Amino acid sequence: MNEMTRKFPKITDEGLEDLRKRVGVKIERTVEPWCYEATRDNIRHYAHGIGDDNPLWCDPEYGKTTKYGDVLALPSFLFATSRIISGYVGGLPGVHAMWSGANWTWHKPILRNTEFRTEAYLKDLIEHNTRFAGKAIQQIYHVDFYDAKTGEMLAEADSWCFRTDRDQARENGTKYTEAKKNGRKVYTQEELDKYYKYYEQETIRGAETRYWDDVNEGDELPTMVKGPMTATGFIAYAQGWGGLYIRANKLAWQLQQKHPSAGIKNKFGIPDCPERVHWEEEFALEVGAPGAYDYGPERTSWLTHQITNWMGDDGFLAKSKCEVRRHNPEGDIILIHGTVVRKFEEDGRFLLEIKQRAEQQDGEMSAVGSAIVELPKR
């Protein structure tokens, strides 16, 4: 690549060596989380940010009728309680970070007004050679989530980003190049109505207990739709989740003083956050993406949404894994499918393993996932 045309920093051996020194070291200080507590409003804002209107998260009067006596926080709400789990990465300043997956384990339901404490460390660095951007670094973090008052561990998770060369990704082109040449699909109302049928038919199991006895290997979960993708939808998620670098005025200036690489100049010459790839198409194209696209934690939360709708109030989501496989740019529609692949007992618990796949409207894989659900036995 001609260095005269380079716009962004690249991955260097020196930068990698510095980053490797951080593996296994507890992260003592980081940007404060979006949410310290699972308040009624924080829970609802996150749920609405993924399009989830389950009354177990959103309606305290409904919550009073359940065994919990109040609303709960949806499992994926914990993304809002740690910047690290959500993709706030250290090292390699200015090198693009694409959040690409998470592996969650929950130990307890998250009750309303729980206050959180988290501990995190860099778990591993893995080098890859990708078609998208050549050399890439998979940067894996581990985060533990505790009840700040009782000290009980509520959940634990690994999440990972891929650090990539923005300039190389832009110049190489991607699997989206042809789609960009041909232009984005414009939907007819008839086509949209076909997908909106899924919203009309979406069912929240709720108080109708789903028993382990009644589920069989091979059972299919109802397909869940998300989209059509819009920048408005991406911003709606950021409102509940908090984003990583979204700041205004003095606070934006302070962040950029501390982390200059977090202030990439826009077309007006003004430093602005790298997160704007999710709503500013021009900048997304500069980093090699197909256009403004969804957030990775958002997509992981969609997969858990399908599970919690299906399992009902008396179910417990014990584990979930999601691997992001592509961008979901504006205009995409995602269909999430799930299949029960294993029914088993373990330590007195009655469990189901569910495989999930999220496909774009043309059948291209968007994400793959899995879940372990505990259900009551008759």
Tokens 């989740």 — which residue?
241
Q: What is the pLDDT of residue 320?
A: 98
Q: What is the pLDDT of residue 166?
A: 60
Distance CA 41, CA 28 (A): 29
Write the DSSP assignment of 294-357 as a string of letters.
--HHHHHHHHHHHHHHHH-TT-EEEEEEEEE-S--BTT--EEEEEEEEEEEEETTEEEEEEEEE
Distance CA 57, CA 72 (A): 5
φ, ψ for residue 195, nearest 5 deg: -80, -35
Over residues 339-361, the mean pLDDT reads: 98
- Reported as a single tens digit per residue, the pLDDT across 263-296 is 999 999 999 999 999 999 999 998 888 999 999 9
Ranges 23-27, 125-129, 195-199, 200-204: which has the least confidence: 125-129
Please say if the pLDDT value at position 29 is more than 90.
Answer: no
Distance CA 9, CA 127 (A): 18
The percentage of the chain sitting over the pLDDT mark of 90, rounded to a whole number, equals 81
Tokens of 278: 């999710």
Report the candidate in 304, 362, 306 with the shortest Cα–Cα distance to residue 332. Answer: 362
Over residues 321-327, the mean pLDDT reads: 96
Tokens 């050549």 — which residue?
134
Please say if the pLDDT value at position 13 is more than 60.
Answer: yes
Please say whether the beta carbons of 148 and 108 come within 8 A: no
- Reported as a single tens digit per residue, the pLDDT across 154-182 is 999 999 999 987 655 444 555 444 455 45
Please say whether the beta carbons of 299 and 329 come within 8 A: no
Q: What is the pLDDT of residue 174?
A: 52
The percentage of the chain sitting over the pLDDT mark of 70, rounded to a whole number, equals 92
Q: Which CATH number fits domain 3-374: 3.10.129.10, 3.40.630.10, 3.40.50.10490, 3.30.1330.10?
A: 3.10.129.10
Report the candidate in 365, 350, 356, 239 with the shortest Cα–Cα distance to residue 305. Answer: 356
Distance CA 261, CA 258 (A): 9
Which element (helix H / strand E) includes 171? helix 166-172
Please say whether the beta carbons of 197 and 317 come within 8 A: no
Q: State which amino acid sits at residue 368.
A: V
The residues that bridge with 118 in the sheet, in sequence order, are 145
- Report the length, in residues, of the chain: 378
Tokens of 193: 């109505």
Between strands 134-147 and 72-73, the pairing is unpaired
